[in-house]
Amino acid sequence: MRYHDITKDDMKNGDGLRVVLWLSGCDHKCPGCQNPITWDPNDGLIFDDSAKKEVFDLLSRDYISGITLTGGDPLFTGNRDEVLLLLKEIKDKFPQKTVWLYTGYDFEDIINLEHLKYIDVLCDGKFIEALKELNIHWVGSSNQRIIDVPETLKSGEIVLYS
């Protein structure tokens, strides 16, 4: 798994102050994407033990609300195994921190992924330039949803994060 950046103290990619891991790899290639540089799964830096330590050191700070995984697409097929291991370790070491994940997949298409057990908020759906909306918080186009994953899994119906 490769990544482009680790952002600390971010307020634009989820609720509260967050660590953001910008992963490489995306098959969606949405026209108008804000991060086309992250599409190539072979671009960026290797997510090694040093990078993981940096993420975990940042997450250990009291004022950090949690982590956001974005990119690219953290659920790009080439990322899924390593992302799952990372999600499990984050939830094990930092159960009080929230995990947000951005993906171009619709929730209904990934409902069976184990990853969902470790995600608090999922921003789903491809970015659609014709539906670009500047007044929506946390997503770029009006078709994208901000889903409360635990509540959705419990109820069996999509519950939007509020």
pLDDT in tens, 36-66: 999 999 999 999 999 999 999 999 999 999 9
- Cβ neighbors of 91 (< 8 A, separation 6 or more) are 99, 118
Q: At what angle do helices 80-93 and 49-59 cross, to 10 degrees?
A: 40
Given this model, what pLDDT does residue 106 score? 98
Determine contact, residues 127/33, Cβ cutoff 8 Å.
yes
pLDDT in tens, 76-135: 999 999 999 999 999 999 999 999 999 999 999 999 999 999 999 999 999 999 999 989
Given this model, what pLDDT does residue 37 score? 96
Determine contact, residues 87/47, Cβ cutoff 8 Å.
no
Given this model, what pLDDT does residue 3 score? 98
Percent of the chain with pLDDT over 90: 97
Given this model, what pLDDT does residue 87 score? 98
Q: Which class for 94: exposed (0-12), middle (13-18), buried (19 or more C-beta within 10 A)?
A: middle
Q: Which of 67, 53, 129, 135 is nearest to 102 (CA)?
A: 67
Tell the residue number behind the tokens 């609300």, with chain if given. Answer: 65
What does the angle CA 22 – CA 25 – CA 29 come to, to the nearest 5 degrees? 105
Count other C-beta atoms under 10 Å from residue 40's C-beta.
Answer: 14
How do 98-102 and 121-124 pair as beta strands? Answer: parallel
